[in-house]
């Protein structure tokens, strides 16, 4: 999953980006509103963490401009515990909000929920055939037995499962799951899918020649 963080406080931005990368998200950052809106419109993020008080465009203006074009899930960060702010944010099309200072674990949980809801999936556990995918612990099991996945393999499988019934291109996988700073090549997606298939069986993920991969519904 690729996340954009728009936050002008350098230490918070750094810590958030680090924490999200540790959770295997691909992370882009913007330290002001003008850079934030350019990136938010330019790339199809799986979610955006958006601070309200920013130099340049503020969080409200970014949200308003974004919503004219895109439905990207947005988690607003507000410094004030003001009902007015929360109502304004939700009215303006924010999907959720957190009041600073917030607990990192709560931010991660809310992001996971936003991403799942955007995929039409309310539960934190995904079931596909005989596999159970727990998005909280990022684990995969079959008949109660855990299957060992690397972080990358897990991220690819979760992304394909959240987009069940759609053909997912290698480029989409690369853009949503691999960080800008990653120097790995996109054809490594094939290597990861090969090793996922060895673990879950060859029939779960179909290859659509010249298009990408698909998990049938
Ligand atoms: Ca700020």
Q: Tell me how far apart the alpha carbons of residues 215 and 30 are, in angstroms, rounded to a whole number.
A: 34
Look at residues 101, 118, 135 and tell me which one is the last residue of a structural domain: 118
- The predicted pLDDT at position 82 comes to 64
- Are the beta carbons of 52 and 59 closer than 8 angstroms? yes
Q: What is the number of structural domains in the chain?
A: 2
Q: How far is the CA of 117 from the centre of ligand 1 (A)?
A: 27
Tell me the residue range of the domain where 188 lies: 125-214
Q: How far is the CA of 71 from the centre of ligand 1 (A)?
A: 23
Same domain membership, residue 136 and residue 104: no
Same domain membership, residue 100 and residue 73: yes
Same domain membership, residue 132 and residue 111: no
- The predicted pLDDT at position 166 comes to 95
pLDDT at 209 over 80: yes
Provide the CA 45 distance to its chain's centre, in angstroms: 7
Same domain membership, residue 188 and residue 102: no
pLDDT at 192 over 70: yes
- The predicted pLDDT at position 103 comes to 94
Sign of the C-alpha dihedral, residues 163, 124, 44, 85?
A: positive
Same domain membership, residue 169 and residue 112: no
Q: What pLDDT, in 10s, does the model give residues 30-66?
A: 999 999 999 999 999 999 999 999 999 999 999 999 9
Same domain membership, residue 19 and residue 102: yes
Q: Tell me how far apart the alpha carbons of residues 97 and 86 are, in angstroms, rounded to a whole number.
A: 7
pLDDT at 140 over 90: yes
How many other CB atoms sit within 10 Å of the CB of residue 154? 20
- The predicted pLDDT at position 155 comes to 92
Q: How far is the CA of 92 from the centre of ligand 1 (A)?
A: 18
Q: What is the CATH number of the domain that holds 106?
A: 3.40.50.2300
- The predicted pLDDT at position 185 comes to 54
168 phi and psi angles, rounded to 5 deg: -105, 120
Share of the chain above pLDDT 70, in %: 95
Q: What pLDDT, in 10s, does the model give residues 80-104?
A: 666 777 777 777 889 999 988 899 9
Q: How far is the CA of 58 from the centre of ligand 1 (A)?
A: 9
Share of the chain above pLDDT 90, in %: 70
* pTM of the predicted structure, to 2 decimals: 0.86
Same domain membership, residue 113 and residue 191: no
Same domain membership, residue 49 and residue 146: no
Q: What is the CATH number of the domain that holds 189?
A: 1.10.10.10
Q: How far is the CA of 176 from the centre of ligand 1 (A)?
A: 26
Among the residues of 49-150, which ranges form H helices? Answer: 59-69, 83-91, 104-118
């Amino acid at each position: 999953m690729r996340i954009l963080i728009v936050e002008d406080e350098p230490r918070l931005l750094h810590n958030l980006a680090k924490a999200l990368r540790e959770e295997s998200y691909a992370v882009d950052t913007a330290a002001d509103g003008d850079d934030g809106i350019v990136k938010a419109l330019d790339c199809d993020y799986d979610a955006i963490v958006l601070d309200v008080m920013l130099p340049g465009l503020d969080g409200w203006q970014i949200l308003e401009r974004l919503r004219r074009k895109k439905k990207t899930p947005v988690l607003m960060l507000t410094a004030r515990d003001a009902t007015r702010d929360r109502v304004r944010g939700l009215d303006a099309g924010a999907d959720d909000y957190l009041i600073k200072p917030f607990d990192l674990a709560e931010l991660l949980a809310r992001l996971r929920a936003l991403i799942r809801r955007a995929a039409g999936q309310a539960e934190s556990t995904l079931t596909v055939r005989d596999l159970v995918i727990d998005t909280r612990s990022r684990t995969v099991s079959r008949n109660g037995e855990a299957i060992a996945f690397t972080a990358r393999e897990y991220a690819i499988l979760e992304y394909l499962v959240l987009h069940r019934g759609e053909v997912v291109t290698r480029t989409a996988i690369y853009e949503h799951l691999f960080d800008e700073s990653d120097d790995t090549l996109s054809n490594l997606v094939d290597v990861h899918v090969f090793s996922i298939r060895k673990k879950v069986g060859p029939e779960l993920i179909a290859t659509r020649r010249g298009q990408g991969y698909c998990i049938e519904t």
